[in-house]
Amino acid sequence: MYDSFAGYEADRQSIDERHKERSLKQRAVLGSAGDVRVAGHCYCCGRDSVFTIHWDGKTSPNWREEFKCERCGLNTRLRGSVQAFEKLCKPWPRTRIYATEYATPFFEWLLRHYPNATGSEFSGIQLPVPEGIPDERWARACRTENVTALSFPGQEFDAVLSFDVLEHVPDYRKALGEFFRVLKPGGRIVLTAPFIEHNPQTIIRARIDQDGVIEHLLPPEYHGDPISDAGCLCYYHFGWDLLDEFSAAGFEDVQSRFYWSMRLGYPGNQHLITARRPRSRAAEKLSGGTIRR
Ligand SMILES: [Zn+2]
C-alpha cells in the first residue's frame, strides 16, 4: 500500500524480487497451453471454487480480466475489488452503494448482496431482470448517468465503486469531483483503472479538441463494453499522478494498493486505489477539498 510514487520507488528492489518469485509460481500453475483450471477459494462466493483461464502457451496470460470463478463468473480484478471494498467499508446489507456499471455480472452480484445498491451505464440499456432479483429492485437500481454530471443529490452514498470506467472519461477530474460530492462524509471510493505502476505520470492516449473531435495521440485502444460491440475508447493509462487528482478533488487517505494471492485467485500484479471523503468539514478544508452540495 503506497500513497506516493516516492514511497513505491523506495521499495522497488523488494517489489521487483517479489514479482519474479510470483511469476515463477504463476508459470508453474499454467502447465501447458490450453484451458487451465486452478482450484482455490473465491471470496465472492465464500467457498472453494475453480478459476479458469485460457493460455496460448506463448504470451503472458491476462490474469486481470480472466481467471474467472466457475461459480460467480467474476474475474480477478472484480473479485479482488469486492474483497477490498468489504474489508475497508465494512458494509451492512442496506448500505447505499453506487457502482458505475449495471450491465455486468459484478452488478448482479452486488445487488443480490446489497439491495440498496445503485448502478449506472452511460447509455441506457434494457436488460432481462436477473434471476433471483425482484423486478422492482432491478428497476430502481439501474440508472443512466454521466459520471461527470451525476443526477444524485450530494452525500447520497456510503461507498462508490468504479471499476475500469475512469480511463474512458475524457474529463476524469470532473468525475472524481462528482464521486466526492455524492459520497457521505467518511464514505469511501474503491476504483480500478489501467495503472502503469512504473509511471509517475499518466499517459494520455486520446483527447477531445476544442471542436469536440477526438484526437488520437497514440494508436486507439478499445476496451470491452457491456453495452456496445464497438468497444469503448481508452483515453488514459494512469500513473501515480492520479493519486494527486484524488487529493485535489478533496479525498484523503488516498492509497494505491497492490495484491496477489494464488489461493484467492489473484495472480498477476493486481492493483486498486482507495480513498475517503473526510469525516468533517474541518478535515475537508485541511485536505484542500471544496464542499459542493
Ligand atoms: Zn466465485
Residues 180-192: what's their mean pLDDT? 97
Q: What is the pLDDT of residues 17-62, one digit of tens each?
A: 999 999 999 999 988 889 999 999 999 999 999 999 999 988 889 9
* φ and ψ of 26, to 5 deg: -65, -40
**129 alpha carbon – ligand 1 mean position (Å):** 20
Q: What is the mean pLDDT of residues 123-143?
A: 91
**Ligand 1 mean position to 78 CA, how many Å?**
10
Once rounded to an integer, what is the mean pLDDT over residues 142-151? Answer: 97
Q: 261 alpha carbon to ligand 1 midpoint, in Å?
A: 15
Q: How far does residue 70's CA lie from ligand 1's centre (Å)?
A: 6
169-183, 212-226, 266-280: the lowest-pLDDT one: 212-226
Is the pLDDT at 217 greater than 70? The verdict is yes
The third-level CATH classification (topology) of the domain covering 5-19+90-286 is Rossmann fold (3.40.50)
CA distances from 104 to 129, 171, 212 (A): 12, 24, 29
Give which of 182, 102, 111, 184 is closest to 143, Cα–Cα.
Answer: 102
Phi/psi of residue 288, each to 5°? 85, 5
pLDDT band at 291 (very low <50, low <70, confident <90, very high): very low
Residues 102-113: what's their mean pLDDT? 94
Q: What percent of the chain has pLDDT over 90?
A: 86
Residue 10 CA to ligand 1 centre (angstroms):
36
121 CA from centroid of ligand 1 (Å): 24
84: Cα within 13 Å, side-chain hemisphere: 29
Ligand 1 centroid vs 265 CA: distance in angstroms?
10
pLDDT value at residue 226: 74
The rounded Å distance from CA 105 to ligand 1 centre is 11
| 272 C-alpha to ligand 1 centroid (Å) | 19
For residue 18, how far is its CA from the centre of ligand 1 (angstroms)? 26
Position 88 pLDDT exceeds 60:
yes
Q: Quick one: pLDDT at residue 290?
A: 47
The amino acid sitting at 200 is: P
Residue 136 makes CB contacts below 8 A (sequence gap 6+) with: none
pLDDT band at 134 (very low <50, low <70, confident <90, very high): very high
pLDDT given at position 79:
97
Cα–ligand 1 centroid distance for 26 (angstroms): 20
**pLDDT reading at 292 higher than 90:** no
What are 245's three cell numbers? 487528482
Average pLDDT, the chain: 92
Query: Do residues 112 and 99 make contact, with C-beta atoms less than 8 angstroms apart?
Result: no
Ligand 1 mean position, distance from CA 4 (Å): 32
Place of cell 473531435: 213
Q: How far is the CA of 76 from the centre of ligand 1 (A)?
A: 10
189 Cα to the center of ligand 1, angstroms: 23
Mean pLDDT of 114-122: 96
Yes or no: say if 234 and 221 are a contact pair by the CB < 8 Å rule: yes
DSSP of the chain: -BSSHHHHHHTHHHHHHHHHHHHHHHHHHH-SSEEEEEEEEETTTTEEEEEEEEE-SSSPP-TTT--EETTT---HHHHHHHHHHHHHH---TT--EEES--SSHHHHHHHHH-TT-EEEESS----PPPTTS-HHHHHHHEEE--TTS--SPTT-EEEEEEES-GGG-TTHHHHHHHHHHHEEEEEEEEEE--B-TT-SS-EE-EEE-TTS-EEESS---EEEETTEEEEEE--EEB-THHHHHHHHTT-EEEEEEEEEETTTTEEEEEEEEEEE--SSHHHHHHTT-----
Residue 230 has a pLDDT of 76
Report CA(71)–ligand 1 centroid distance (Å).
5
Q: Are 220 and 208 in contact (CB under 8 A)?
A: no
Distance 287 CA to ligand 1 centre (A): 38
Model pLDDT, residue 285? 59
Q: How confident is the model at residue 276 (pLDDT cuts 50, 70, 90)?
A: very high
**CA-atom Rg of the chain in angstroms:** 19
Q: Please state which of the ranges 61-75, 89-103, 166-180, 273-287 shows the lowest mean pLDDT.
A: 273-287
**Which string of b and e fits 116-131 if b means at least 16 CB within 10 Å?**
bbbbbbbeeeeeeeee
Q: What angle do CA 79, 83, 86 make, to 5 degrees?
A: 135
69 CA distance to ligand 1 centroid (A)?
Answer: 5
Per-residue model confidence (pLDDT) at position 284: 62
